[in-house]
Each structure stands twice: as C-alpha cells, then as structure tokens.
Amino acid sequence: MPSAICFIEKSDGIRVLDKSTWLCESGDWIVSEAKAADLVGKRIYFLESQAGESHYGGVIQGYRVLPDDHPTAARRVVFTFTADNALRGFRPGPDGWGMEQKSID
C-alpha cells in the first residue's frame, strides 16, 4: 500500500474549494478506485516534472470517480485534499514514474 502519490500537474487543474480550510480538488487522474481508496489519509504531491520538486501537496481526504459519460475524462479519479505548505519542495526522484504518476511506498 503506498504512503503517498505524486502527479505531474502542468495544467493548473487544482481548485481551492474552501479557502478557510484549504480544502482543494485535484485534476483528473487514471487511478483504480481501489488504489484511490487506499490513498485516503495519505499524502499527495504535484510536480511540474519528474526530476523537479513538488509545488503543491496535501493530505487526501477523499475522491470521486467521474461518470462513464463524462465528455473528456470518463472513469478518472478526482482527489479532494487539504493543502499543506510543508509538502512543497518534496523531490521523489526520477525513477518509478508511469502515466504521469509515481507511488511512494
């Protein structure tokens, strides 16, 4: 079971849902629902490149799966997370990436 997940986020898909608690929503990702469920309570990091450092991060509070009839991202997962400035600057390293994501064990 991963302790964190990293995503390459270049499209500014992160939305702040509640500024008072810094509850945010990620872009949409190809992740199995089982893996998404395992990640609740774990860390999420967003980077611009595999060799870079995180520019955004937080703790996953939940997720939702987009419907089959979604026009651009059917069955993709959107994470809800509480942003944490302390998770900026994390460097996961260049190895182990696939499909713009990397699990940290």
Q: What is the 3-state secondary structure (H, E, C) of 42-58?
A: CEEEEECCCCCCEEEEE
Quote the mean pLDDT of the chain. Answer: 95
**Selected residue with higher pLDDT from 64 and 2:** 64
CB 39 within 8 A of CB 5: yes
CB 102 within 8 A of CB 66: no
Tens-digit pLDDT profile for residues 57-81: 999 999 999 999 999 889 999 999 9
> What pLDDT does 43 receive?
98
Closest-CA residue to 9 (of 31, 32, 26): 26
Residues 6+ apart with CB under 8 A from 41: 59, 60
**pTM, entire model:** 0.94
Tens-digit pLDDT profile for residues 38-55: 999 999 999 999 999 999
CB 53 within 8 A of CB 47: yes
CB 102 within 8 A of CB 6: yes
